[in-house]
Amino acid sequence: MRITDVKAVLLTGPYSNDPYICALRPRRSAAFVEIATDTEHIGWGETYAGYFFPEAVPEIVEFFKPILIGQSPDDVHLLWNRMYQCGNYWNRVGLGTAVINGIEAALWDLRGKAHGLPVYELLGGRKHDRLPCYASGGPSNYPQSELAKKLDFYLSLGFTGVKLGAGSYSREQGRFTPRSAMEAADFEGDKVAFARRHVGPNVRLMLDGHMGNNSRTTWDLGTAQAVMKAVEPAGLFFFEEPLHYTDPWGYSELCRSSAVPIAGGECLTALYEWRVFAERDCFDIGQPDAAWTGGIGEFMRVAALLEGRGRKIATHAAGAGGALMQNIHCAFACGNTLICEVLPALGGIHLDMLLDDAFRFESGDVLPPLAPGLGLNLTDDIKNRYPFVRGSGEFNSVPGKVLVD
């Protein structure tokens, strides 16, 4: 099998069928890499960069394309290393590495399809019979009566865990993020206490600070510590991203000083950047993303690094259908996987490209995929159904550049 073509596919479509997420943002962008071969097999992979800056992805794919044409997809590590070294001045971390992630995932998809095996079998075999997952609920829809309906909706879908965002969102007032330490502690403590009373003691509750990706307010260590103390009685499964990623020292101190498990890492790319945080024990639970970290192979190396330090992982998967499956396959291949992130009420660009027996959900758990490769099939019909809209990527609104939906 030889590679004959490599190209990017950009889509814009519904965020999901979740009315509580769509209340904030009804559509999103996504970027896929399609690799054609001289056989009937086509490989697809997703880069999470397509959620933020999709317009850049095709040019970066074209940059790496000559490395792949005429090559066999079997030696994924060799091709990954050539791409990574080729852009050594500008893609050791960041956007270039994230786009390589989509290319490399498509190579793994090809290998799995050629061998008739799910990708996790090519990564050393599955380490779990099933894995718990949680509904990634996006914003905390307010008032609290609306938040209660949101929680009930996720539980009605069969989830046994829910993650909510820090602050709140309402149609009347828009986004709200508490600023001072006292305000943040009071608001988040009251919110999670309400959520815990509503769902009972057995549902896993998580909170996402988004402080690594938030232009409105960035908490300092003192604020984060105050919030952790306030939410501790609710027994959170973890608190995600309470600090900015430019502060590994703060993360390390927070992790040492808090009884609440600290999670993070979704914004980190490449093993090199992960080592900065892992060797300081910045996270109780690492959150690599197999559509962003740098590749499926790089995800596995990051997971092994964390496992060597006694840390668990919880996959981050907020991309579309490719990102979902890339993370699920990695989750089953890693022995230290604790839980998986799943966007609830899958639909549109999250669901339409999944083969039968790819995403399998039962009683709050995700089951091992049975479809070969990653379980993706990005047809021309899907491409035509969700044409790309320039400017549909996500970003932090600032003066002069405001996100409208």
What burial class does residue 270 get, using C-beta atoms within 10 Å of its C-beta: 0-12 exposed, 13-18 middle, 19+ buried? buried
Between the CA of residue 159 and those of 155, 199, 261, 349, 361, what are the distances in Å?
Answer: 5, 12, 21, 21, 9
Residues contacting residue 236 through CB under 8 Å, at least 6 positions apart: 192, 205, 206, 207, 260, 261
Alpha-carbon distance of 41 to 1, in angstroms, equals 9
Alpha-carbon distance of 195 to 384, in angstroms, equals 41
Q: Are 78 and 107 in contact (CB under 8 A)?
A: no
Which CATH class, in words, describes the domain spanning 3-117+380-385? Answer: alpha beta
Q: Domain residue spans in the chain?
A: 3-117+380-385, 121-367
- Rounded to 5 degrees, what are φ and ψ at 176? -135, 125
Strands 365-367 and 174-176: unpaired
Q: pLDDT tens string for the chain (405 positions)?
A: 999 999 999 999 998 899 998 888 889 999 999 999 999 999 999 999 999 999 999 999 999 999 999 999 999 999 999 999 999 999 999 999 999 999 999 999 999 999 999 999 999 999 999 999 999 988 999 999 999 999 999 999 999 999 999 999 998 888 898 889 999 999 999 999 999 999 999 999 999 999 877 777 899 999 999 999 999 999 999 999 999 999 999 999 999 999 999 999 999 999 999 999 999 999 999 999 999 999 999 999 999 999 999 999 999 999 999 999 999 999 999 999 999 999 999 999 999 999 999 999 999 999 999 999 999 999 999 999 999 999 999 988 888 988 877
Alpha-carbon distance of 264 to 277, in angstroms, equals 10
Angle at 208 between CA 203 and CA 210, to 5 degrees: 170
Residues contacting residue 31 through CB under 8 Å, at least 6 positions apart: 8, 9, 10, 11, 46, 47, 49, 50, 51, 54, 57, 99, 102
Whether the domain at 3-117+380-385 and the domain at 121-367 fall into the same CATH topology: no
| C-alpha dihedral (43, 265, 211, 165), degrees to nearest 10 | 70
Does the structural domain 121-367 have CATH classification 3.20.20.70? no
Helices 76-86 and 95-115 sit at what angle, rounded to 10 degrees?
A: 160
Number of residues that this document lists for the chain = 405
Q: Output the six-digit token pair for 91.
A: 């893609």
